Structure 1
């Protein structure tokens, strides 16, 4: 069963951005337009409601609205992985059941944040989500934001379950990524999280990637993944370095998500501003972001026209 899952789900997934109207409310029409924008980019699917999607900053009902709109627009065209993690296990279970009801493909979750939870508490938190639906489950490991470092014993225990098919490894160590792949086995999915080390993650055993900056250059990550698959590692390294140059510039703004969302605005895709406490883009950054968009589009055109 799991081996089939690896074949089905490996690839490139855009961590979809939050989508609001001009007053900061979830906008279903804009969600649909953004989801549609990615269909022809070559990606395998969307990761909805994660860090880039600001799921933690939204109410349960808002998160459901976003998912429903995305499913209505691209169900059957893109694989939809839904982040259902919340501070409350009850809310996480509610979101899990909703994801199954609307036809999502996979659920995924971080540990609950704020409280410094024991491994037993995190295991129980995840297990209740897993048991609440028939959907496969992907662990989301991002210790730099959750404060929870997933141990190998707990990971091994979770990975032995048939419904636990993978892990989104957003920690910064490719050694740990490789260890997760070794312990999980060839029939267990490992997704690289840090966009700037996608190639390194693939070389160390990742089956694909899920990333936020993918959202402004999905074509480049699809090309990068293809170059890796074709064993054109020198060419892949050159492209990863170009991508990293773009990421470095994006990180130079007060708000990474705000910068990415403004670039989409330049392209005619309105997603609204990030939700506070995430900062919006400053007016004085508009011109440089428009120039950065031109740079990104030039690199995309160069690779797609080869």
Structure 2
């Protein structure tokens, strides 16, 4: 039986998708990455989202990625399958497949590109959510178009919509969502660099890109923030943010994948037009930059930095 969304809390990496040097999905690397993250004690996985390069893949590739992830997870932790697309028809097909292979919940960006009306967006989520028995987590993200608070309240009224992935800087609305929509409406804070404030304002979990490579930082941060130890949470957020902003200037998803490889979980490469570190010289240059950064900031206890 699938879990309720309220049972999926804590730290959930927005899972990377490993591709090989020829941009083909690499099943072996995917299995290694999943096992690596489970051993690192993450609380769940968010699959084929933005970090997973979903919109670089065909629907059949997205299905295969989820199949491999589910087979490797084997029920050890919950999995949220992102099924977002512009077409309701395509999203329903992905949603039904996700249910068939055992995903615990669905998530989706709103349909984008054509500037759909609020009624059309509500219809999109209503149709997808009605197509399966899985709970839906709507996705508030600048890349696809942010929802206003009234729109979030409207989406929360759809049968089966049980939560939201909130990737926006207006964290005052996190508290408002919990107060006006309800404490049982699950909220995931989606901005890595604002994880502490997300949890402090009431988020039930955090979903983010950098939890693939520095999960230890955010697992400790989440626990500290939940315990009310804001001083510790802030110190961990400062470490995380230093790494995030340094990586953002260096092909961030590719940098995440390479830094995972330095820890023994080779996450492969990105699909173009994303940049990559294909050759030994470019990867060594990235390592050297991270070494200098580590020394300059005096960072300790970060696994991938200690590994280089």
- Mapped contact 2:5–2:135 kept (Cα < 8 A): no
Please name the residue that 2:132 is paired with.
133
- The CA deviation at 1:113 is 1.9
Give 1:1-306 correspondences, 5 Å limit: 5-6=5-6, 8-142=7-141, 144-146=142-144, 148-253=145-250, 255-281=251-277, 285-291=282-288, 292=290, 295=294, 298-300=300-302
Is 263-272 or 184-193 further displaced after alignment?
A: 263-272
1:132-167 CA-partner distances (Å, limit 9, x unpaired): 00000000110x211x23132332122134521110
Is 160-169 or 112-121 further displaced after alignment?
A: 160-169
- The CA deviation at 1:169 is 0.4
Is 94-103 or 269-278 further displaced after alignment?
A: 269-278
- The CA deviation at 1:168 is 0.3
- The CA deviation at 1:226 is 0.9
Q: 1:88 to 1:297 in 2, by over 3 A?
A: farther
> 2-side partners of 1:256 and 1:98: how far apart?
30
Q: 1:41 to 1:162 in 2, by over 3 A?
A: farther
> 1-side partners of 2:54 and 2:221: how far apart?
28
User: Could you say which structure has the higher helix fraction?
Assistant: 1
Is 80-89 or 224-233 further displaced after alignment?
A: 224-233
- The CA deviation at 1:297 is 9.0
- The CA deviation at 1:117 is 0.8
> 2-side partners of 1:276 and 1:290: how far apart?
22
Is 198-207 or 20-29 further displaced after alignment?
A: 20-29
Is 73-82 or 273-282 further displaced after alignment?
A: 273-282
Structure 1: gaps (5+ residues): 302-306
With the length of structure 1 as denominator, give the TM-score of the two structures: 0.90
- Mapped contact 1:29–1:69 kept (Cα < 8 A): no
**SS of the residue aligned with 2:164?**
strand
- Mapped contact 1:263–1:289 kept (Cα < 8 A): no
- Mapped contact 2:19–2:269 kept (Cα < 8 A): yes
- Mapped contact 1:266–1:290 kept (Cα < 8 A): no
- Mapped contact 1:199–1:236 kept (Cα < 8 A): yes
> 1-side partners of 2:42 and 2:299: how far apart?
17
**SS of the residue aligned with 2:95?**
helix
Is 207-216 or 276-285 further displaced after alignment?
A: 276-285
**SS of the residue aligned with 1:231?**
coil
> 2-side partners of 1:11 and 1:161: how far apart?
25
1:68-109 CA-partner distances (Å, limit 9, x unpaired): 000000131111000000111111000000000000000000
- The CA deviation at 1:191 is 0.6
**SS of the residue aligned with 1:120?**
helix
> 1-side partners of 2:168 and 2:225: how far apart?
21
Q: 1:38 to 1:175 in 2, by over 3 A?
A: same
